[in-house]
Structure 1
Amino acid sequence: MNFSAIWARIKQHPLSRVGPGLVTGVADDDPSGIVTYSQAGAQFGLNMLWTMPFAYPLMSTIQVLCARIGRVTGRGLSANMKLAFPPAVLIALVSILLIANVLNIAADIAAMGEVAQLVTGINWHIMTGVFVLLTLILQILIPYRHYVFFLKWLSLSLLAYGAVLFTVHVPWGEVVWKTFFPTITFNAASAAVVVGIFGTTISPYLFFWQASQEVEDMNLRHENSLLLGNAKEIHSELRRIQWDTWSGMLYSNVAAYCIILATAVTLHVVGIRDINTAAEAASALRPLAGEFAFMLFALGILGVGLMGVPVLAGSAAYALSEVFGWRSSLEDNAAQAGKFYAIIAISVLGALAIQYSPISPMKALFWSAVLNGVVAVPLMVAIMILSSRSSVMGPHVATLSMKILGWLATGFMAVAAVYMFVA
């Protein structure tokens, strides 16, 4: 069998037919997110498991609304937000998003480099440079139709965190009980972890990425926006978005749940309560859960990092390019969409430069969280307004249940942002 035949068979695999929801969901569990979930499990044990089932419907609803905006209108989120924000406000919000994404990428590639050093013994600065070059080459040189296919296969890396649980003792009865009836005192420390978890789980860069990926997929299939579609196509596409996004976010949340659980039954049990980096979490697991668990955890970090970094860089490029009306598509080559790819390159190379600056990866992660907290709430308000306007969505406005869950998510994130600044 020749390569073309093998490639054709691979592309017929069910995984190749899932949409942007899967890639978006997995990108949410980037190395920075793994640090947050590991800290939650190490510090509070099983008592932070409740956050994942609580966050699941909230994040899923917001992402469904973003996907619907992109697919219904045939435009990305920034292009639609021009209708809700004055230009100066939108540019300010997107600029803050760009800075936050660069800082987040810096934290992610530092985590990947440190974990790769643990696995290979090669200096983490060298490994960080390798990962940066790899992501840039893949994103700039490979057309979207091929690139996104490999991203979907990288999503399998999240299975590593479920596999870790088979290498350690898990008191499943207590796990189920604590998931729904945790023992926790809401003080400054616990509130900070909850805010961190929700800030990591409901992230602005995911809003822009999923909306733009719906547009990319629509253009790749040579289809029209749903405002111009027939009744059968509209019904099919809206159902696909619903299924794809809720299943993708479920996959993401289950993986995050497994990370909290794995660190709770290992690190927390032996008194390791402070995790600052993904490499620390992996290293701490090694003597407690064994070499196999360590390798699974480490490879999971590298896999989701290779997804998270392109999504962070790509979402910033989509957002800024749409504000200024620049051509923005991963299907285009660098000559066709030079400014779009320049933003991607600047984002990733800027993050690499931070590795050699006085800014530590943990400080980069902290400021990324602060900036995301600044932009998340107004962006979510805009998403709720846009998705409810018939002038934007035609007859495909958000349903009542979407509005209730969406505004609940927005309110929760507003409270979290206020707490972050007060604290």
Structure 2
Amino acid sequence: MSLLDQIKRMGPGLVTGAADDDPSGIATYSQAGAQFGTSLLWTMLFAYPLMVATQLASARVGRVTGKGLGHSLKAIMPHWLMAILVALLFVANTINIGADLAAMGEAAGMTVRRGQHVFTIIFALASLLLQMFVPYDRYAALLKWMTLVLLAYVALVLMVKVDWSQALHDLVLPHLDGRQEVTTVVAILGTTISPFLFFWQAAQEVEEIDQVEERKPLQRAEHQAEDAFNRIRIDTFTGMAVSNIVALAIILGTAATLHAAGKTDIQSAADAAKALQPVAGPLAFAIFTLGIIGTGFLAVPVLAGSSGYAVCEVGGWAASLQDKPQRARVFYAVIALGMILGVAIDWSPISPMKALFWSAVINGIVAVPVLVALMLVVSSREVMGKYTASISLWIFGWITTVAMGVAAISMLVLPS
């Protein structure tokens, strides 16, 4: 199979990886670069195999069972515990949606010098209408093409002066000192290993099964297993690589500009963009601000959609972006509620960049119980049959779970 054919087959993993670099991720990586320079670059190298493991496990559950992650979790967990996990997911996603929409509105507002809140509402409505009225196959293709917006942040690195020897040193030699850095590491892990990504990629594998007639859940079509797992591996490894390369570019770019200029406390998207302007000119300013809007349009539907999938999978309601609203009313109601509450957050006095940063921290904490549940599911013969996790996937999956738990606990107990 040619490289072009492999690219055409990519989808859930690539979109999931790109959605990982949402305005929440941009804010978190910008905070890390501005405050600590390149000293936390190593976190992205550390996170890559962990991201791959969790997303491979999620995709595996969806492709094998033909059901979303929430449905599979019900098979091994008490209903009350599932309800708590889904509620936490919805809360974290809604905070993230609100912060992302607010950042998008601020980015558009500072470009035209007015209308921040109006832009936020417009972006929310546009995203909601696209999800509700554009069929899944077209919408998935649109999301796939939107991943190209991430190239803007790679281009940004070429516009600024980077100390590459120091960057390489910090990439391969971990350094951690004090509670602030621990908190930032938790935020980085929280925005790269987020629960909404688990539910989304599993659900997209199910959507792909429904859209391709010859595809069946692997429990009923064993002859498709080898090809399916090869596609998932290539898709996921590539998607997570794209995510991490972009994250490294953002940290490098802000380290070379904001940190070098002594601007270590980023309060808004405007602060980050304006700091780039005198160093790299108007083009860098445009790249940073338009990147926030573009990645927001990619990530907000993933956040809202993952909430809809999770709630409906646990509750037993229809959940598919291919269905029209009248056929999946609860699914679209959950998506709409997340959007409405997210817009409401925009009217609060909280700084968008601060909200984005702390939503990532919350995701880092919430991810721990969800990861435990995911690993129990993918290791269960009752759920997965003969397609339980491989030894390497099992090892890296549990390493991820432990790492997220240790990071979250460390943030809470270490002295200031």
Tell me if both proteins adopt one fold, taking TM over 0.5 as the criterion: yes
User: 2:304, 2:8 → 1: CA distance?
Assistant: 23
Q: How does 1:352-371 map to 2 (within 5 A)?
A: 352-358=343-349, 361=352, 364-365=355-356, 368-369=359-360, 371=362
Match of 1:73 among 59, 65, 87: 65
Q: How far apart are 1:188 and its partner, in Å?
A: 1.2
- Equivalent position of 2:190 in the other structure: 199
Contact 2:149 2:294 in 1 (8 A): yes
Match of 1:393 among 384, 387, 398: 384
User: 1:310, 1:82 → 2: CA distance?
Assistant: 25
- Equivalent position of 1:301 in the other structure: 292
User: 1:161, 1:32 → 2: CA distance?
Assistant: 15
Alpha-carbon displacement from aligned partner over 1:130-162 (angstroms, at most 9, x marks no partner): 101110111101010001110011100110010
Change (3 A) 1:387 1:49: same
Q: How does 1:407-422 map to 2 (within 5 A)?
A: 407-422=398-413
Match of 1:330 among 321, 329, 333: 321
- Equivalent position of 2:114 in the other structure: 122
- Asked if 1:273 is matched to 2:264, the reply is yes
The one-letter code sitting in structure 2 at the alignment partner of 1:339 is V
- Equivalent position of 2:219 in the other structure: 227
User: 1:100, 1:178 → 2: CA distance?
Assistant: 31
Match of 1:49 among 30, 37, 41: 41
Comparing 71-80 with 115-124, greater Cα deviation is found at 115-124
Change (3 A) 1:173 1:375: closer
Comparing 264-273 with 405-414, greater Cα deviation is found at 264-273
The one-letter code sitting in structure 2 at the alignment partner of 1:97 is L
Change (3 A) 1:151 1:261: same
The one-letter code sitting in structure 2 at the alignment partner of 1:307 is L
User: 1:282, 1:382 → 2: CA distance?
Assistant: 39
Match of 1:255 among 246, 255, 262: 246
Contact 1:65 1:387 in 2 (8 A): yes
User: 1:325, 1:359 → 2: CA distance?
Assistant: 36
Q: How far apart are 1:363 and its partner, in Å?
A: 6.2
The one-letter code sitting in structure 1 at the alignment partner of 2:338 is S
Q: How does 1:182-221 map to 2 (within 5 A)?
A: 184-221=175-212
Q: How far apart are 1:214 and its partner, in Å?
A: 0.3
Comparing 72-81 with 367-376, greater Cα deviation is found at 367-376
Q: How does 1:156-171 map to 2 (within 5 A)?
A: 156-171=148-163
Q: How far apart are 1:357 and its partner, in Å?
A: 3.7
- Equivalent position of 1:372 in the other structure: 363
Comparing 355-364 with 407-416, greater Cα deviation is found at 355-364
Q: How far apart are 1:404 and its partner, in Å?
A: 1.0
- Equivalent position of 1:154 in the other structure: 146
Change (3 A) 1:66 1:193: same
Contact 1:32 1:278 in 2 (8 A): no
Q: In angstroms, what is the RMSD of aligned CA positions?
A: 1.7
- Equivalent position of 1:4 in the other structure: none
Alpha-carbon displacement from aligned partner over 1:219-274 (angstroms, at most 9, x marks no partner): 1002210011133x110001111110111000001000000000011111111111
Match of 1:239 among 230, 235, 239: 230
User: 2:355, 2:318 → 1: CA distance?
Assistant: 30
Structure 2 residues without counterparts, runs of 5 or longer: none
User: 2:111, 2:9 → 1: CA distance?
Assistant: 33
- Equivalent position of 1:142 in the other structure: 134
Q: How far apart are 1:421 and its partner, in Å?
A: 3.2
User: 2:354, 2:238 → 1: CA distance?
Assistant: 33
Q: How far apart are 1:16 and its partner, in Å?
A: 4.6
Alpha-carbon displacement from aligned partner over 1:357-404 (angstroms, at most 9, x marks no partner): 455545644663454244311111111111111221111111111111
The one-letter code sitting in structure 1 at the alignment partner of 2:82 is L
Structure 1 residues without counterparts, runs of 5 or longer: 1-11
- Asked if 1:111 is matched to 2:111, the reply is no
Q: How far apart are 1:119 and its partner, in Å?
A: 1.7
Contact 1:96 1:371 in 2 (8 A): no
Q: How far apart are 1:166 and its partner, in Å?
A: 1.4
User: 1:296, 1:359 → 2: CA distance?
Assistant: 25
Contact 2:156 2:287 in 1 (8 A): yes
The one-letter code sitting in structure 1 at the alignment partner of 2:200 is W
- Asked if 1:405 is matched to 2:358, the reply is no
- Equivalent position of 2:15 in the other structure: 23
- Asked if 1:319 is matched to 2:310, the reply is yes
Q: Secondary structure at the match of 1:48?
A: coil
Q: How far apart are 1:15 and its partner, in Å?
A: 5.2
Change (3 A) 1:129 1:293: same
- Equivalent position of 1:7 in the other structure: none
User: 1:65, 1:178 → 2: CA distance?
Assistant: 30
Q: How far apart are 1:85 and its partner, in Å?
A: 1.3
Q: Secondary structure at the match of 2:186?
A: helix
The one-letter code sitting in structure 1 at the alignment partner of 2:30 is S
Contact 2:30 2:250 in 1 (8 A): yes
Change (3 A) 1:366 1:247: closer
Alpha-carbon displacement from aligned partner over 1:39-65 (angstroms, at most 9, x marks no partner): 111111111111111100001100000
Change (3 A) 1:285 1:366: closer
User: 1:399, 1:205 → 2: CA distance?
Assistant: 23
Contact 2:24 2:359 in 1 (8 A): no
User: 1:144, 1:84 → 2: CA distance?
Assistant: 30
User: 2:265, 2:354 → 1: CA distance?
Assistant: 16
Q: How far apart are 1:72 and its partner, in Å?
A: 0.3
Contact 1:115 1:279 in 2 (8 A): yes
